[in-house]
Amino acid sequence: MTSTVTATVGAAVSALRRGEVEWARTALPARRRLLDQIHVNTARHAQEWVETAARIKKLTSDSPLLGEEWVSGPYSLLTGAAALAESLLALEEGRSPVDGYPMRPAPGGRTAVEVFPHGVFDALLLNGFRAEVWSRPGVDAETVRARAGLGQRTPTSTGGIGVVLGAGNIFSIAPLDVLYQLYADNRVVALKLNPITDPLLPVLEKIFAPAIERGFVRLITGGPEVGAALVHHPDVDAVHMTGSAATHDAIVFGTGAEAERNKAAGTPRLTKPITSELGGVSPTIVVPGRWSNADLRFQAEHLATQRLHNNGYNCIAAQVAVISADWPQKERFLAELRAAIGRAPQRPDYYPGSSDRVEAARQSYPQAQVIGARTLIEGLTPNRREPALHTEYFAPVLGVIELPGIDPAEFLARAVQVCNDEFEGTLGVNIIAHPATIKQLGDRFDTAVTELRYGTIAVNAWTGLGYLTARASWGAFPGHSLTDIQSGIGVVHNALLIAEPERTVLRGPFRPSPRSLLHGEFSLSPKPPWFVTNRTGATTLRRLTNFAKKPGVAPLAPIFASALRG
């Protein structure tokens, strides 16, 4: 390790040690004002953020894909800071952060907290979408209420210094992880940026300036040696990372033969607590039913979006569609899927190693179809030797696995078993099902949702929406260990500061408006602006971000006008 790295890391940790003393003295009202300042700074520098992101991802200034950078960049930080500020206000006033949020009993002795929509603007902007955070089994509503607040319930009892190892794919991940360490875990934070995102350093320094000035946050750049020095510094108390399971294991157990010995013996090289969000192979279950031609086309675009958003460089990108081999409409749906993949805008492969991972997938599957720069692999089988079920390609590669069964109940039960037992990772799963099929299944559908062991479950929606929902929890299904990490340990976001949530369950409309209304599905939402085939997504999501800067009635009409043209 060079003297420069040692000096840089040492200076950051020393400043944070002093900052922790100041953080312990900072009362809830001042902590809330800090969030308000971060919100104001994010609004002020949102344009610069998106322009920098576009340069990193090699997108032109008129690219229809810029909407992804608005919504997964400044919008996410704006809404996250605002929601956390509301939770701190509740605690200041002697209330629980979940007071005023509807709760209901969920299957298995769980409690479900409805976190979206929250307020009239949510109901208008994403009409027909809902999100609940479920507790773990045996936790009742009163316990959820009493424990919500996490580290802000005892603000003077700080948690030391936390290190966040930032992600390089979605640019709000690292800032939101900083807020979670600071508020949920009550720690001061050193953020080590992923080298891909180093050009964002000036923007993030402006956004977090009030926290940096008081020693609550430090932003650091550099290579693996800087990250290692931070993680293993004796004065660092905890680590959080976003990335791959392989990177996690290298941090925890080391590399090479030493790592193999350490992991086999269950003796980690890193002995301080580490939480993580690691992705995996996310499935989309397509439940057979009787769909119209418009339904087939729309849901094919939905599935294509789940894979191709950010070119597949998402921990939550759907990698394998699970469909019925006996569904009479299977071939038509697959034809629409191929067409949707072909219609999606092309984009540069900015993420390191993308082309190599695509080539590896094509070598494993000579039958793979090449559609532009994308790869579609049909004919997968549910077994532990199937590479596509156990290798996170993190690239524009989508697989299709067919399971027997035309009866929706039998198919769904089989699909749940395969997704739970054969797929790597537990971050998120999508279910696409016709409303009539869901009604026909009744309690059996609810049972399927309950039995899926995933941190976010989306019904007729994409789990990525869970990432964008500030009050939803985000992370793997609980129960993983350091030696079998899967999609990680712990959660982030969770702006209501709910203690130990088990999962988030999202529900959306099967059809966009106005078709939804014509078929008795009460939803006013048109084609979602995050669809890769949405013609006005960039404009709509930029306007939505501007709305998040200062919510009000006036910005709604331009948002709706753009959304309806999508």
The whole-angstrom separation of Cα 250 and Cα 268 is 10
CATH of the domain at 230: 3.40.605.10
Identity at 8, one-letter amino acid code: T
* Predicted pLDDT of residue 564: 93
**Mean pLDDT over residues 263-279, rounded?**
95
Does 386 lie in the same domain as 336?
Answer: yes
394 with 415, same domain: the answer is yes
Q: pLDDT digit string (tens) for 167-197?
A: 999 999 999 999 999 999 999 999 999 999 9
Are 332 and 191 in a shared domain?
Answer: no
Residues 305, 270, single domain; the answer is no
For residues 147-158, average pLDDT: 98
Do the beta carbons of residue 278 and residue 487 sit within 8 Å?
yes
- Domain for residue 233, yes or no? yes
User: Residue type for 472, please?
Assistant: A
Q: Would strands 318-324 and 282-286 be described as parallel, antiparallel, or unpaired?
A: parallel
Q: What is the per-residue pLDDT across 286-310, written as a single tens digit (0 to 9) for each?
A: 999 999 999 999 999 999 999 999 9
Residue 84: pLDDT band by 50, 70, 90 thresholds? very high
Tokens of 547: 């709305």
In a domain, 147, yes or no: no
pLDDT at 1 over 80: no
Show the tokens assigned to 426: 């537990």
Going from the C-alpha of 352 to that of each of 231, 240, 355, 358, 394, the distances in angstroms are: 23, 22, 8, 12, 10
| φ, ψ dihedrals at 418, nearest 5° | -65, -45
**Structural domain of 229:** 3-125+153-277
Confidence of residue 3 (pLDDT cuts 50, 70, 90): confident
* β-pair partners for 220: 192
Residue 531 located in a structural domain = no
Write the CATH number for 450: 3.40.309.10
Is position 71 within any domain? yes
Question: What is the per-residue pLDDT for 66?
Answer: 96
Residues 367 and 436 in one domain: yes
Decide which of 398, 426, 456 is a domain's last residue: 456
Q: Helix, strand, or coil here: 512?
A: coil
- Minimal CA–CA distance to 345: which of 419, 396, 417? 396
Closest CA to 322 of 278, 243, 258, 382: 382
Contact assessment for residue 204 and residue 104, using Cβ atoms and an 8 Å cutoff = no
- The confidence score (pLDDT) of residue 69 equals 98
Q: Point out the domain boundary residue: 277, 310, 330.
A: 277
Q: Report the distance separating Cα 133 and Cα 497, nearest Å.
A: 11
Backbone phi and psi for residue 431, each to the nearest 5 degrees, phi listed first: -125, 125
pLDDT band at 165 (very low <50, low <70, confident <90, very high): very high
Q: Residues 429, 345: one domain?
A: yes
Whether the link from the prior residue into 514 is cis, omega within 30° of 0, is yes
- Greater confidence (183 vs 259) lies with 183
Are 36 and 50 within one domain? Answer: yes
Both 315 and 399 in a single domain?
yes
Report the half-sphere exposure of 3 (CA within 13 A, side-chain side): 0
271 and 405 assigned to the same domain: no
- Assess whether 372 and 393 both reside in one domain: yes
State the chain's mean pLDDT as an integer: 97
386-389-390-396 Cα dihedral, nearest 10 degrees: 110
447 and 513 Cβ atoms separated by less than 8 Å = no
Query: Once rounded to an integer, what is the mean pLDDT over residues 237-261?
Result: 94
Which of 239, 254, 277 is at the close of a domain? 277
367 Cβ contact partners less than 8 Å away, ≥ 6 residues apart: 377, 378, 379
What single string gives the DSSP state of each residue in 429-492? Answer: EEEE--HHHHHHHTHHHHHHHHH---SEEEESS-THHHHH-TTSEEEPPS--BTTB-TT-SSEE
Q: Which residues of 539-556 are buried (b: 16+ CB within 10 A; e: fewer)?
A: bbbbbbbbbbbeeeeebe
Q: Answer for the pair 385, 365: CB distance below 8 angstroms, yes or no.
A: no
240: left (phi over 0), alpha (psi -120 to 50) or beta: beta
Q: What is the DSSP letter of 16?
A: H
- Strands ordered across the beta sheet of 217-220: 217-220, 188-192, 161-165, 238-242, 274-277
Mean pLDDT for 145-151 is 98
- In angstroms, the CA 32 to CA 435 distance is 42
Q: Would residue 325 count as lying in a domain? A: yes
Cis peptide before 117 (omega within 30 of 0): yes
Query: In which band, very low, low, confident or very high, does the pLDDT at 520 lie, cut at 50, 70 and 90?
Result: confident
The reported pLDDT for the residue numbered 497 is 98
What pLDDT is stored for residue 384 in this prediction? 78
Residue type, 29: P
Supply 287's token pair. 């439940």
Pairwise CA distance, residues 429 & 279, whole Å:
11
| Amino acid letter for position 331 | E
Q: Given this model, what pLDDT does residue 112 score? A: 98
Task: Tell me the two tokens of residue 202.
Answer: 């000036």
Do 75 and 219 reside in the same domain of the chain?
yes
Instruction: Report how many domains make up the chain.
Output: 2
Query: Model-level pTM?
Result: 0.97
Cα separation, 457 vs 371, whole angstroms: 29
Taking residues 393-408, report their average pLDDT.
97
Same domain, 373 and 264: no
Work out the pLDDT band at 59, boundaries 50, 70, 90: very high
Nearest to 528 by CA among 116, 126, 71: 126
Structure confidence at residue 93 (pLDDT):
98
The answer to the question of residue 189 being in a domain is yes
**CB-neighbour burial class of residue 409 (10 A; exposed 0-12, middle 13-18, buried 19+):** middle
Residue 383's pLDDT band (boundaries 50, 70, 90)? confident
CA-to-CA distance for 383 and 393, rounded, in angstroms? Answer: 18
What are 99-116's pLDDT values in tens digits?
999 999 999 999 999 999
Mean pLDDT, residues 471-490 taken together: 97
Note whether residue 320 is domain-resident: yes
Residue 497 located in a structural domain: no
Please compute the mean of the pLDDT values over residues 488-507 and round it to a whole number.
Answer: 98
Q: How confident is residue 519, by pLDDT bands cut at 50, 70 and 90?
A: confident
| Arithmetic mean of pLDDT, 264-293 | 96
